[in-house]
Amino acid sequence: MAGYGLRPVGAGYAGLSGYNNGGFVEVPISTDAAVDIFAGDFVEWVNDASGSGSAGVVRQANNATGETPNTTDTTFGVAIGFRYVTSAGTPTWSQFYDQSSSNTDAYAFVCTDPNQIYLIQSDGATTIENVGSNAPIDGFAVNEASSTLGLSGIQLDHSNIAVTAADCLRIVGIPDSGSNRSSTTPDVLVRINTGVLFSDQGTGIV
């Protein structure tokens, strides 16, 4: 089941009020971005003097298993769009970044507000009893995203909902719209639970 990643919304506990990214920043994409990046993906800051990246750039954020950002990642925010110049010299604006070492002037538009509410699809029957819990995500594999729609494939990992502090999402609500709350794969309101822009993340990137 394909998801749509993290979608920034204006939201309250019982519902939501449309797409609202709360403002975004334009950040260069790392030259070592080895995979495509999609709207709705987490991105991380890179500051690596060894040559695998440069200060002040971003790439898709995922841990060693390719599944979920956690406290060891420098999660910066959520990508909502991209611009870059192809090897043919064509300026391109897109909902996904078509990774190529030949691209130039590549930038991601990133929603960075640490208080932003996001909508994400759950891969299981998440209910209002789960509000307040933490959860990881799954679906980071490239083939679970859509280059046609430009949307991420990540979803809330229902089977691993827990109190684990390192999990990347905090569940804050289940929209009460239509049959959503009774769905086996409902849309869920979440906040990013870890990230470099939170005031309690005192360790800088290296």
- pLDDT tens over the chain, length 206 residues: 456 888 888 755 555 666 676 678 898 888 766 778 889 988 887 765 444 445 567 877 765 444 456 555 567 889 999 999 998 999 999 999 988 888 889 999 999 888 889 999 999 999 999 999 999 888 766 557 777 788 888 889 999 999 888 788 899 999 988 899 999 999 999 988 876 666 555 455 44
Amino acid code (one letter) for 97? Y
Question: Which pLDDT does position 63 carry in this prediction?
Answer: 52
Sign of CA dihedral 11, 69, 127, 185: positive
CA distance 23 to 47: 24
Question: Which pLDDT does position 15 carry in this prediction?
Answer: 54
H or E element at residue 120: strand 117-121
Question: Which pLDDT does position 139 carry in this prediction?
Answer: 74
| Of 118, 133, 32, nearest in space to 44 by CA | 32
Q: How far is CA 41 from CA 68, 87, 165, 198, in A?
A: 10, 24, 21, 18
Q: How far is CA 138 from CA 71, 97, 126, 159, in A?
A: 16, 20, 15, 10
